[in-house]
Amino acid sequence: MAQRTKLLPADRVAVRAALARLPDELNRLLHALGASAARERRAGLAFSAVEQIWHLADLEHEGFGRRIERLLYEDQPVLADFDGDAIAAERDYRRRSLREGLAAFATARAANLALLDRVRDEEWEHSGIQEGVGPVTLADLPELMSRHDAAHRGEIELWLASGTESAAGSG
């Protein structure tokens, strides 16, 4: 993995603010979407809107949340990869509720931000190894979360832009 630059405290505040905004941004983007439209696969993307949201929710809780906790409380943990494609298929995200997914993501994100808000200065350097990424510190996680958010927000915007009349008001 390429060397990451260490976030300065002011940068950390900006990243935290962006992380806090995403649940509301997604609610605004998807508020008019009906259930059947939310399940459509569009624009050559692997995930529908509902699948994107449940992926974000589960990764936030089971991926990022567990990584934050383990980095805080364990010495040099090995952090598991999160196989989003396999989990989406196993849990059949496409059949789930978009609204419930949005709520689950917002709840998990708020819990992670609350945990990060309690991190003491010296704890930001707690480190471990993340499968598929390499060495990481607790200070790296907000930036990794932000990049992941940006990728999925972009996919959701592309998905919405490729929509049809069915996107507003079905189901």
Rg (CA), the chain: 17
pLDDT at residue number 4: 53
Rounded average pLDDT over 124-136: 95
pLDDT at residue number 166: 43
Contact 35, 98 (CB under 8 A): yes
pLDDT at residue number 170: 40
Query: pTM, whole model, 2 decimals?
Result: 0.89
Contact 41, 168 (CB under 8 A): no
% of the chain with per-residue pLDDT over 90: 84
Backbone angles phi, psi at 143, to 5 degrees: -70, -40
In the predicted structure, residue 11 carries a pLDDT above the cut 80: yes
In the predicted structure, residue 3 carries a pLDDT above the cut 80: no
Backbone angles phi, psi at 93, to 5 degrees: -50, -35
Q: Is the C-alpha dihedral spanning 150, 152, 155, 159 positive or negative? A: negative
Distance (Å, whole) CA 13 – CA 141: 13
Rounded average pLDDT over 116-137: 95
Mean pLDDT, the chain, whole residue set? 91
